[in-house]
Amino acid sequence: MEIITLVWEQYLYLPLFNFLIWLYLNYSNFNLGAAVIILTILLRFILLPFTILTERGKILGQKLRKEIVDIKNDYSNDPIRQKIAIREFLKKKKIRPWAKAVVLGIQGLVLVLLYQVFIGGINTQEKLHLLYPSIPRPDFINTNFLWFDIAERNLVVAAIVAGYLFAQILINFWERRNQLTKKEQIYSLFFPALAFLILAILPSVKSIFVLTSLIFSSIISIFTLLIKMSLKKANKVTTR
């Protein structure tokens, strides 16, 4: 347990806290909200190789949907063998579902670390005492961003994130162009509502982090869509 605490404090929490303050002092115009946005964008760029694998898997998955449905039908009475068969099929086609888990897992870890950064207040001497000697200690950390304080709860910002999530889910369903199942209809309402409830009780810095990451994902999805369209055009030209 002591080893886990040591790793968490010395190799995860302290580096993130110090890097966030360094961004605040050097690149955010002394605005912690802007520093969190920069941190999120940098994190997403670091995770970009895994994001590309995820997007590639989406493109291939759409092409292979019929084969996956056939496998599900073949093993409809044996869920365990069905999962194994689908996993082997995806592995054979070099689709890596774990890439998405890596992206979500690391972002989830950073969210927890950010919660620890803000819990008990970020302007306390306890927190500022944790800064490395190479990083100047600010007299005061400005947590005001736009119209709200990112260290406090904000229902409006949480609602914006939930609305963005809902719109993103609807767009994904629309792209598939097939009728939604009952399960998918429940998911499209339940997941954004759950996100709102969770973000509403947390400091709004979490909402900033999640919204920035969602917008980054949307930009990547737009690029993916453009690539798909160009590939379709290229295929049409070659088949003529």
Q: What is the pLDDT of residues 131-149, one digit of tens each?
A: 999 999 888 889 999 899 9
Of the pLDDT bands very low, low, confident and very high (cuts 50, 70, 90), residue 213 is very high
Residue 174 resides in a domain: no
The lowest-confidence range among 5-9, 50-54, 109-113 is 50-54
Residue 159 resides in a domain: no
Distance CA 146, CA 31 (A): 10
Domain that holds residue 214: 2-153+202-239
Asked whether 195 and 165 are in contact (CB, 8 A), the reply is: yes
Q: Which two tokens stand for residue 104?
A: 């979500």
Residue 54 resides in a domain: yes
Distances (CA, A) of 151 to 28, 31, 163, 190, 211: 16, 12, 22, 26, 16
Residue 111 resides in a domain: yes
Distance CA 218, CA 84 (A): 31
Distance CA 231, CA 240 (A): 14
pLDDT score of 19: 92
Residue 87 resides in a domain: yes
Distances (CA, A) of 33 to 60, 99, 141, 148: 37, 28, 10, 10
How many residues does the structure list for the chain? 240
How many domains are there within the chain? 1
Residue 106 resides in a domain: yes
Res. 13: pLDDT tops 60: yes
Residue 184 resides in a domain: no
The lowest-confidence range among 27-36, 83-92, 98-107, 156-165 is 83-92
Find the mean pLDDT for residues 50-73. 73
Distance CA 206, CA 154 (A): 10
Residue 135 resides in a domain: yes
pTM of the model: 0.81
